Structure 1
Amino acid sequence: MKRLFKFRIGKSDKGRVIATCVDKNCGWRVYATNHPNSQNVEIKTVTLKHTCDVSSKSKYGVKATTKIFSELLQAKFANGKRGTRACELPEMVLSELNVTISYIKAWNTKELTMNAARGNEEEGYHFLATYLHLVESTNPRTIYDIQTCVDKKGNTKFKYLFFVFSASISGFKYLRKVIVIDGTTMKGKYKGCLVAASGQDGNMHIFPLAFGVVEV
């Protein structure tokens, strides 16, 4: 895409791969062979000069698939990075790759990239019990409870969650005798409300007490 041309794979098997320009009259060609017991390939012959016409070169954007963009953008979303917003992707892709994409493709690219870099939300709920068990193991006296239900298909579904860290339990007796409860709407794929109970310590600072996830 960066070099403004499209190629096709003429031959591909366990021993070799041949890539040619999409224009059959163009001489661009790469011939490579696989190394035994290795994922590496060795280029045997190569012709990098293009002789194709403008109409053939204009097809370079065909390979601009959501999967390709996702692989290129994973580094921008890895390690907790905020990443690029879907509305910003079309402009970024146009400036870097000279490809025009729709907002729908940009949105799908972001979703696919986030799932590959961070895991999807289903996996997050799947590991929730494991995470809380590890928290309890490293922070004795931590309390948590997960409520689930079973749907008509026999699948276990997440319903409610409550947890309080041992440090909050230990510090509760030193707080002012006022508890504030607040909630915020969860904006992910699975809706809900994250609620939190907080107090105030002797230095007038907010002291978190307990957390819960409920429907509303």
Structure 2
Amino acid sequence: MDDEEIRYPGNQFDSTYSGKKPYLNQEREVILENGMIFPDVHSFRARLRDYTVQAGFKIVRDKNEKARVTAHCVAEGCPWRIHASPLPDGTTYKIKTLIAKKLVDSFKENPHMGLDTMLVKLNKLYGIEASRMQLYRAKRKCKEELEGDHGSEYVLLPTYVEEIKKTNPSSLAVINYGLPPTPVSEDEEEPDPTPIPQYPLFQRIFISFEAMKKGFIDGCKPFIGVDGCHLKGPYVGVLISTVALDGNNGLFPLALAVVKGECKDN
């Protein structure tokens, strides 16, 4: 009897269903993949528990029933999510999510792939059925995988500012943070005394490269214009730019900033 049988006794499933049998890799690590099938919900839960302990991250179970198990990673910005539910026999369990990872290569070839095409590919390649809402979420995750997402890019801003200061020391790069407001109880006017972790929130960033300043002083007319445009996306805000006029009456960039809104302080 190998350790697979010791750790998961009775790990037998109905071989008439299409799917991949759970296995350990060469390093004896637990593997979870789309399409894996398990004899019952208990076997799946045991695998899931061992996988998260091995990988070193925590999960929250959104659904933990015999009819379905759905869980996601609790870490901010982590896209990991898994969903499994029984097959027609009502007992055999099958992993039916982690869909986005399977479609990333397809989106590289066709960035404008529609939901109907996604469903055909999932059915043909992996035998996966998905609702339109699941397909929509998978499409969004694929785009984030290929293009990045707003949250992870904002996290990189402090590093970007430090790199500007290090490689272009005469430039001006400033980033401001603030704390979120303290929650107030609905029944009280005083702040809730329960301690809540306070994480700094991005407020604004201002950048003016040395070449911009030097170009303005050496070759531009004494005129400065400021304007802004509203940013789309989950965090909105305003992109403000400052321009001057060069000797040919062309626009010359002088500085840029991303702020919450156009106001005197910003």
Shared fold (TM-score greater than 0.5)? yes
Q: How does 1:129-168 map to 2 (within 5 A)?
A: 129-151=158-180, 152=182, 153-168=197-212
TM-score by length of 1: 0.61
Shift of 1:191: 1.6
| Kept in 1: contact 2:100–2:141 (CA 8 A) | no
Partner of 1:28: none
Shift of 1:97: 5.4
| Kept in 2: contact 1:74–1:116 (CA 8 A) | no
Q: How does 1:172-187 map to 2 (within 5 A)?
A: 172-173=216-217, 174-187=219-232
Shift of 1:64: 6.6
In structure 2, relative to structure 1, the CA distance for the partners of 1:102 and 1:127 (3 Å cut) is: same
Distance in 2, matches of 1:209 and 1:122, equals: 27
In structure 2, relative to structure 1, the CA distance for the partners of 1:165 and 1:69 (3 Å cut) is: same
Q: Deviations over 1:28-63 (max 9, x none)?
A: xxxxxxxxxxxxxxxxxxxxxxxxxxxx9xxxxx97
Question: Please, which runs of 5 or more residues in structure 1 have no aligned partner?
Answer: 1-5, 23-55, 57-61
Paired residue type of 2:111: T
Partner of 1:73: 104
In structure 2, relative to structure 1, the CA distance for the partners of 1:148 and 1:126 (3 Å cut) is: same
Partner of 2:264: none
| Kept in 2: contact 1:90–1:101 (CA 8 A) | no
SS at structure 2 position matched to 1:211: strand
Distance in 2, matches of 1:123 and 1:70, equals: 18
SS at structure 2 position matched to 1:148: strand
Percent sequence identity over aligned pairs: 25
Paired residue type of 1:138: T
Match for residue 170 of structure 1 among 193, 196, 214: 214
RMSD between aligned residues: 3.5
TM-score by length of 2: 0.51
Higher helix proportion: 1
In structure 2, relative to structure 1, the CA distance for the partners of 1:157 and 1:107 (3 Å cut) is: same
Paired residue type of 2:18: F
Shift of 1:98: 5.8
Match for residue 138 of structure 2 among 89, 109, 130: 109
In structure 2, relative to structure 1, the CA distance for the partners of 1:75 and 1:185 (3 Å cut) is: farther
Higher strand proportion: 1
State the structure with bigger RCO (CA 8 A, min sep 6), 1 or 2.
Answer: 1
The answer to whether 1:84 aligns with 2:111 is yes
Partner of 1:47: none
Q: How many residues align?
A: 164
Distance in 2, matches of 1:171 and 1:146, equals: 23
Paired residue type of 1:84: P
Distance in 2, matches of 1:143 and 1:131, equals: 12
Shift of 1:106: 3.5
Shift of 1:169: 0.4
